[in-house]
Structure 1
Amino acid sequence: MESFNEYHIDPKQFPFLKNFQDNWQVIRDEYTSFINNASNEELKFTYDVLGPKSQTIKTKGKSKYSAFGILFQGMFIEKYIQAHQIKYPDYGPDEASKKALVLREKYFTNLANVIKDVNLIEDDIIRNVYYGTFHPGLDIKLHVNYNPHTNRGYLGLIVPEGDVAMKICHDQLYWHEGKFLVLDHSYPHCPHNYTSYDRTVLVVDFFKPDKPRDEVIEFEKEQVTQRMQDNPYSLGVFGKSDKAKEEDFIKYGLAHQLEWDKALI
């Protein structure tokens, strides 16, 4: 029987996540269909434009983390690009927005419909939705995601057997296909994939339901404004505050990882 605490949260507390979980195979199939059938141009555009980029979260060696999505800060990606007038080297905001809409409608209609249904009923509680892939050998430095207004749900889509896990505080947690792992990412954590295969999940960030909605909306607005000024390609997901401080290691009994993290370059 699983044990839950303040940072590893029971998904059953959030009934709206069941909409995603009930459709997990369809959501997975849309992802695999896109990966297998998209043109090289579509793939390049997706990872250049639709993927949130971090300037602070570091990985070991050459192994990477890749991500792309269709919803950011409660807006579908084509609207988010327009709202923030994001400038890309190879695309203007109008061109990027139009291409993003075409891709979303071509490949991710079922996922988009699940998001729409949940946000219609739950007053736009879903904030970010993107696919995240850990490539083989991935090690990510200990970090925090300073989002005290949201929780992060991971819906397992493609999870290989073996040592692919999330270390958070005193726990090592695992993903499972068709199930949610829900975490409060304001606690320090560091995931890894020591298998020979990709691990892909659907990341679903959502407002903490127990917090006043007007307060979390205002916090999100201020946070996203700052993050977009610092790094518009973060899509408001990552920021400078994600970097763990030495006191984070000590506070959560992770001082032994300081030397290990320093070795990650």
Structure 2
Amino acid sequence: METFNEYHLDPDIFTFLQTFQDNWRSIRDEFTYFTQNATAEELKLAYDVLGPKSKTIQTKGKSKYSAFGILFQGLFIEQYIRSHQIQYPDGGTDEAASKALALREKYFPKLALSIETVNSIEDNILRNVYFGTFHSGLDIKLHVNDNPHMNRGYLGLIVPEGDVAMKICHDRLYWQEGKFMVLDHSYPHCPHNYTEFDRTVLVVDFFKPDWDRAKASQFEREQVKERMQDNPYSLGVFGKSDRAKESDFIKYGLAHQLEWDKALT
């Protein structure tokens, strides 16, 4: 029987996640259809425009993490681009937003419907929804996600057998296809993929239900403003404060990571 604690949370508590879990195969099919059938231009758009970028979360070696999604800070991607007037090297704000909308409607209608269904019932509780892929050999440095107002759910879509896991505090947790893993990412964590295959999940960030909604929304607005000023391509997901302290490396038995962590900075 799985055990839960203050940072590894029971997904059954968050009943609205069941909408995604019930439709996980359809969501996975949309992802795989897109990656296998999209044009080179559409793939570039997804990873360059629809993908949140971090300046602080780094990987060991050449293996990378890739992501793209359709909801950021409670807005569909095309709305978010226009709301923040994000400028891109290959085109202006309106052009990027129009292309993002067209791609979302073409490839991800079922995922969008799930998001709309939940947010219409749960007072816009969903903040970010995106696909996250750990490529073979990935090893991400210990870090935190400074989002005290949110929890992060991972819905397993494509999970290979073997050593692909999330190390958070003193636990090593494993994703399962068709099931959610829910974490409080304000605790130090470092995921890895030591298999020969990619692992893809649907990342679902949502307001903590025990936070006052007005307080959580105000915190988000202030945080996103700061993050977007520093890095508009973060889409408000990542920021400078997403760093673990040296004491965290020691406390959670990951002191061996300090050497290569320091080499990356």
Could you tell me the TM-score, scaled by structure 2's length? 0.97
Distance in 2 (alpha carbons) for counterparts of 1:184 and 1:113: 26
> In 2, distance between residues paired with 1:162 and 1:105?
35
CA distance in 1, matches of 2:80, 2:49: 11
Residue in structure 2 matched with residue 215 of structure 1 by the alignment: 215
Q: CA deviation at 1:263?
A: 5.7
* 1:141-160 alignment runs, 5 A limit: 141-160=141-160
Determine the structure 1 residue equivalent to 2:203. 203
CA shift for structure 1 position 105: 0.3
Amino acid at match of 1:227: R
* Whole-Å separation in 2 of the counterparts to 1:157 and 1:173: 16
The 5-angstrom pairing of residues 1-265 of structure 1 reads 1-259=1-259, 261-262=261-262
Unaligned runs of 5+ in 2: none
Where structure 1 has 5 or more consecutive residues not aligned to the other structure, the ranges are none
| 3-state SS in 2 of match to 1:87 | coil
Q: Give the distance between the partners of 2:155 and 2:261, measured in 1 at CA.
A: 27
* Distance apart, 1:258 and its partner CA: 2.4
Q: Structure 1 residue 91: deviation in Å?
A: 1.3
Q: CA deviation at 1:264?
A: 5.9
TM-score normalised according to structure 1 size = 0.97
Q: Amino acid of the residue matched to residue 189 of structure 1? A: H
Measure, in 1, the Cα distance between the counterparts of 2:124 and 2:96.
24
Which amino acid letter does the alignment assign opposite residue 214 of structure 1? A
SS at match of 2:241: helix
| 1:108-129 CA distance string (max 9 Å, x none) | 0000000000000000000000
Q: Is the 8 A contact 1:79 1:97 kept in 2?
A: yes
How far apart, CA to CA, are the structure 2 residues paired with 1:89 and 1:264? 27
1:24–1:157 CA contact under 8 A, matched in 2:
yes
The answer on whether the counterparts of 2:60 and 2:260 sit within 8 Å (CA) in structure 1 is no
Once residues 260 and 8 of structure 2 are traced to their aligned partners in structure 1, the CA distance between those partners, rounded to angstroms, is 24
Over the aligned positions, Cα root-mean-square deviation in angstroms equals 1.2
3-state SS of 1:181 partner: strand
In structure 2, C-alpha distance between the alignment counterparts of 1:162 and 1:210, rounded to whole Å: 36
Deviation at 1:248, TM superposition (A): 2.4
Runs of 4+ in 1 over 2 A off after TM superposition: 247-265
Distance 2:111 2:46 in 1: 16
Instruction: Give secondary structure in 2 for the equivalent of 1:209.
Output: coil
Find the aligned partners of 2:145 and 2:176 in 1 and give their Cα distance. 22
Q: Is the 8 A contact 1:137 1:196 kept in 2?
A: yes
Aligned residues: 265
Structure 1: distance between partners of 2:260 and 2:69: 31
The structure-2 alpha-carbon separation of the partners of 1:263 and 1:164, relative to structure 1 and needing over 3 Å to count, comes to farther
The alignment-based identity, stated in percent, is 77
